[in-house]
Each structure stands twice: as structure tokens, then as C-alpha cells.
Amino acid sequence: MKICTTLCMLLPMVLVMMMSCSFITIMAVTESHIPITLDGPFKPVTRRFDPSLRRGSDDLPMTHPRLRKNVTLNFPEQIALAISSPSSMWVSWVTGDAQIGLNVTPVDPASVGSEVWYGKESGKYTSVGKGDSVVYSQLYPFEGLWNYTSGIIHHVKLEGLEPGTRYYYKCGDSSIPAMSQERFFETFPEPSANNYPARIAVIGDLGLTRNSSSTIDHLIHNDPSMILMVGDLTYANQYLTTGGKGASCYSCSFPDAPIRETYQPRWDGWGRFMEPLTSEVPMMVIEGNHEIEPQAGKISFKSYLTRFAVPAEESGSKSNFYYSFDAGGIHFIMLGAYVDYNSTGAQFAWLKQDLQKIDRSVTPWLVAAWHPPWYNSYASHYQEFECMRLEMEEILYQYRVDIVFNGHVHAYERMNRVYNYKLDPCAPIYITVGDGGNIEKVDVDHADDPGKCPSPGDNIPEFGGVCKSNFSTGPAKGNFCWNKQPEWSAFRESSFGHGILEAVNSTYALWTWHRNEDNYKENAVGDQIYIVRQPELCKKDFKPQDSQQSLPYNSNPKSSHAPSHLSKNSIITSQFLGLLFIYGLYYEVKWS
């Protein structure tokens, strides 16, 4: 009776407490009818390509205002930011003119200085950072092919910054003088379970088409605080070295090319195209297959490795192909699919060490990204990187990665939680966003469509082995493809767009996919879901069979676009009763 009396007396106070941020978050999920992953697994949904739309568009010409050079002499251009740590930021830019032709001579990178003036007030720069500069060349040992050497690429790391603070800066060489206009950036808050970036944009396979322009314009409208670029940036390798018109199918248009050529000035155009965004918002990149760009001497990835500063050294990596970083309470792991990913290799050893260092009480969310998807129901790139999945999936599952972002497939697809092709409530949510708008056009064929199942000889990866096989369990047992949308594929659509991740707290994160054609529609979204972590149930080292037996995961999938409110209301009720019980016990002990 005493406990009952206590609970009744405490009811008004507990009701007030339920208006905390966590409760408001839960109520928002309920009231806005946004599904949550606890409602899953969801019944697979497909939105077919709209035949009234074009599957793609041509590249913007180098004379386009967003691609042409708009500075003179050695003034900075292609300015870009990248996170180094919560207290440091990379600033990169290019000065001078690139050269292209049969004979090119690299300039001396030391001929122009690398300085960044910065401070907390506009026009008042209290600190100066200095860094390094470099040039690179793309050379081809074939008669008639043009060579390229870049302008001077500068990288400066600003250190000792205060987390959660706005800084104003200029970059360039003050001795010439040739300094940029003033820009600004904001550092992320200290890693903490209570601190998160406002909006993280996720883009893949962007390119430089008119569709790419729509993607970036839409993205700018959504005001991101960081950009996650999951590979295939410029599509400079859809051209011959002499330029001309880019091709949506390289091998179709240039069957006699002696090597996969590139037109490197497209990289400079892409840097200018992105500068209005990347000069104020940090962009974190990972390589895709279109960044391979082979040249003389078996050299590859030269553009990618030279142009972008990434926190490889800061995260203990010895390679810019894979690294990690924190953004508030989120730990990001960027993996390389086009370098050794075997469990006996350097990348895997680094990955294991990085995962072991993570403190989930400080960075509760764990997000991984790499270019080619492991789970993909489109015919394009179907089962292409099975070897990588077989090597790395287990360790990511073991350490409870929450979300995985990929590109490569030029469409959008969100999976149910899946591990080893089986639905699993403790597995990551895999999301493919390779729909940035590139020249190769949107993918529309699904592997489960009649007559569209690829053969095991199709979709050979540009790196690594071939590990394709028929399914050994489930509805597709004995077959290479499903005869319907797989149960692990929750939603797919062939449209260009981008995604926004908003971590609300240590438990809830809102994922929204925005299709380009909805840019001017008020509050229109292509796909939206609250991703919910269950750390108290999905403990590290649980085996897949343990999680499947002990955790609630609906056996009857529901459509993610027509969710039930039962599980949401159950969450609210259980948390409400839990608070009542805890506070009742507390005061019972205190007053006894």
C-alpha cells in the first residue's frame, strides 16, 4: 500500500518528467506517422521508375559558370574543408593553372605559400595556420593521348580549435598577396552521447550532370552540417584524354581506347562546382571505382589521393583509402573496397583496432561507409563484392555497427536489418545512395525482375576476387536471384537524390531520402524512417542465433509506408511505467 500511495503521489511529477527530450522524440515519431525500425522487418516495397522522366542527362560543359575558373593568377579556388578531429580542421584549395597536352611540365609546388588566417570574429584573424603543397600528374604512355599536370594543391590543418565554435577564415599566400574571400565553418561538438551534428548529408556517384546540379541545389536547401561522399565523384574517366563529349557507357563509345582514359580538367571543374558548399561544410570522402584512373607505371588513384585531405594519420591508418573520425556522438568508419580487404591484411587489422577503441558511452552511434554495396537487389553490380562481405561482415556485426552507407548502384535502396542474408534485429541498416545524378544514368532493372537476373559471370569487380554463389537458405534457396523483391530489401526506387541523417539522441536517428523532383514540394520526402538502437539487447559478441531468439522482431513484415502504431505506443507505455517504477522505488527507500 505504501508503494502504491507513493506512486500515486508521484504521478504528476513523473508526467512532467515525461516531457523530456527523449519523450518528445518518441511522441514525434508517433504523431508524424514516421515508421521506426522497431516496427520491422518491413514488407518489401518498390517504386518503379517513372517512364515520363529521362534516365539521365549529359554532363555540364567546362564552360558552364559553375565549372569554369573564376579567379586570376594565384588566387585560391576549389576550397574545401574536411574534419581532422573535434579540435582540428583541414582546409584545402588549388592555385595556378593546370596543364594538359602531349608535353606538360609540373610547376614547383613551393612557388606559392599555404596559409590560412582564422579567428572567431569576422574580419579579425587571430591565428595563422601553415601547411603543405603538392602537384600531381596523370601520364599515359600511348601515342596521341594527352597528359595532365595539376595546379598547386594546398592542405593546411588548423589545430587547437574549440569544439562547437564558428570560425572565419581566408586562405592563400599573403606574400603575393593572393588571399581568398572570407569564409566560415563550424567545428563539431565534443564527442558525447548528448552532442550530435544537426544534419549529415549522404551522397554517392554524383558526377557533373544537370541532375548532379539538382542534387546539390536540393542538398544546399537542406542545410547540412557535414557531407558524406561515398565514392564516384567526378566521372572524369568517362572521357578521352582530349576531352570532348563524355559517354554514359565508356566501353560502348570508346572500344579502341588503349587504357581507361580520363579528362583530368573535370576534376578541377568538380572542385569549383562543389566549392560553394565545401568551403563552409566539411566533406568526408571515400574512393569509388571511378577514382581508380590507371596511368603509366601502374599508378592509380592519383587524383583522389592528392586532392583530398582525410584524417588517416589521426585515426591510426597508414592509408588514405580507409580511416575513421568522430562527429559529435557518431563514430564514422570509412572503408576501402578497392584495396586489400582480406582478414589477413593491413586494412582489416586497422579496422579491428579502431573498433576496439570505440567507447559507445561517448560515441553511441557507429556508422560505416564504403562504395560498393553488399546488399543490393538491382541487376547492376549484383553480388559484385561478395568477397568483401565474406571477409568483413562478421566483425562489423560483432561490434554492432548501426548503419552502413554505400553507393555504386545508381538508385536508392534501404534494407531491413540483415546479416548473412538473414533478417536479424541486431544487424546494421544498409542504405544505398548511389543516385547522385552521374552521366551513367539511373539503374532501373532489378535482379528479381523476369529475365533480368544476371549470370555469375556478370558484374566482375574491378578489384578483388569473385565469390558469387546461389543462396543456400531462405525463399531463394538454390537460386542465384530471388523471384520477387528479397525480404531484406525494405524499399527501393530508381530516382536521383540524396539522404540526410539526423541523430536525435543516443537511441534515435532520423533518416530521410530526398528525391530530386521533390525539391520544390513543401515537406516532401521520398523515404523516411527513425533508426532505433537497442544497445541493452544487442550486446557486443551476441551470436546471430542468440539475437534472433531473444529479441523482438516482427515475424509478419509490414509496409514501412503504412506503419502500425502499436509498437510505438508500446514503447511509450513501457518507458512511462518504467519511470514510475524507478521513481517509486527511489522514494520508497528514501522515505522508509
Complete DSSP assignment for 416-483: PSEETTEE-TTSPEEEEE--S--TT-----BTTSTT-PPPTTSS--SSS--------SSTTTT-SS-S
Closest CA to 202 of 461, 477, 502: 502
Q: Which H helix or E strand runs over 336?
A: none
Q: Please tell me the distance from the alpha carbon of residue 113 to that of residue 454, in angstroms, as a whole number.
A: 53
* HSE value, Cβ hemisphere, 13 Å, CA-based, for 418: 21
Q: Which H helix or E strand runs over 42?
A: strand 42-43
In this structure, is the dihedral angle defined by the CA atoms of residues 586, 590, 591 and 592, taken in order, positive or negative? Answer: positive
For 245, 299, 316, 462, the CA distances from 294, given in Å and listed in that order, are: 20, 6, 27, 12
Q: What are phi and psi of 111, to 5 degrees?
A: -75, -15
In this structure, is the dihedral angle defined by the CA atoms of residues 497, 372, 362 and 508, taken in order, positive or negative? Answer: positive
Edge-to-edge strand ranges of the sheet holding 226-229: 283-285, 226-229, 200-203, 497-503, 508-515, 527-532
Instruction: Find where cell 523482438 sits.
Output: 552
pLDDT tens-digit profile, the chain (592 residues): 444 444 444 444 444 444 444 444 444 444 458 999 999 999 999 999 988 888 999 999 999 999 999 999 899 999 999 999 999 999 999 999 999 999 999 999 999 999 999 999 999 999 999 999 999 999 999 999 999 999 999 999 999 999 999 999 999 999 999 999 999 999 999 999 999 999 999 999 999 999 999 999 999 999 999 999 999 999 999 999 999 999 999 999 999 999 999 999 999 999 999 999 999 999 999 999 999 999 999 999 999 999 999 999 999 999 999 999 999 999 999 999 999 999 999 999 999 999 999 999 999 999 999 999 999 999 999 999 999 999 999 999 999 999 999 999 999 999 999 999 999 999 999 999 999 999 999 999 999 999 999 999 999 999 999 999 999 988 999 999 999 999 999 999 999 999 999 999 999 999 999 999 887 676 678 999 999 999 998 986 555 555 444 444 554 455 444 333 334 443 443 344 344 433 443 333 334 3
Per-residue buried b or exposed e for 521-533, using 16+ beta carbons within 10 Å of the residue's own CB: eeeeebbbbbbbb
For 25, 28, 569, the CA distances from 31, given in Å and listed in that order, are: 10, 5, 11
Tally Cβ neighbours within 10 Å of residue 498.
Answer: 28
Q: Which of 155, 381, 408, 410 is catalytic?
A: 381
Per-residue pLDDT at 368: 98
CB-CB contact of 322 with 334 (8 Å): yes
Per-residue pLDDT at 32: 56
Closest CA to 402 of 373, 366, 430: 366
Edge-to-edge strand ranges of the sheet holding 132-134: 77-85, 88-95, 152-158, 132-134
Percent helix / strand / coil, the chain, rounded to 5:
25, 25, 50
71 by Cβ neighbours in 10 Å (0-12 / 13-18 / 19+) ranks as middle
- DSSP code, position 49: -
Q: Which CATH number fits domain 37-53+192-231+322-532: 3.30.413.10, 3.60.21.10, 3.20.20.20, 3.40.50.11540?
A: 3.60.21.10
* HSE value, Cβ hemisphere, 13 Å, CA-based, for 233: 27
Closest CA to 415 of 307, 519, 531, 497: 531
565 by Cβ neighbours in 10 Å (0-12 / 13-18 / 19+) ranks as middle
CA 439, distance to chain mean position in Å, is 20
Q: Please tell me the distance from the alpha carbon of residue 364 to that of residue 330, in angstroms, as a whole number.
A: 6
Q: What are phi and psi of 293, to 5 degrees?
A: 45, 70
Per-residue pLDDT at 542: 55
CB-CB contact of 328 with 195 (8 Å): yes
Q: Please tell me the distance from the alpha carbon of residue 576 to that of residue 573, in angstroms, as a whole number.
A: 5
Nearest 5°: the CA angle 34, 36, 37 is 150
Q: Please tell me the distance from the alpha carbon of residue 541 to that of residue 1, in angstroms, as a whole number.
A: 43
For residue 480, the one-letter residue type is F
CA dihedral 512, 525, 495, 440 (to 10 degrees): -50
Q: Please tell me the distance from the alpha carbon of residue 499 to that of residue 436, in angstroms, as a whole number.
A: 10
CB-CB contact of 204 with 408 (8 Å): yes
Helix (H, G, I), strand (E, B) or coil at 58: coil
Q: Please tell me the distance from the alpha carbon of residue 243 to that of residue 267, in angstroms, as a whole number.
A: 12
**Catalytic status, residue 33:** no
Per-residue pLDDT at 518: 83
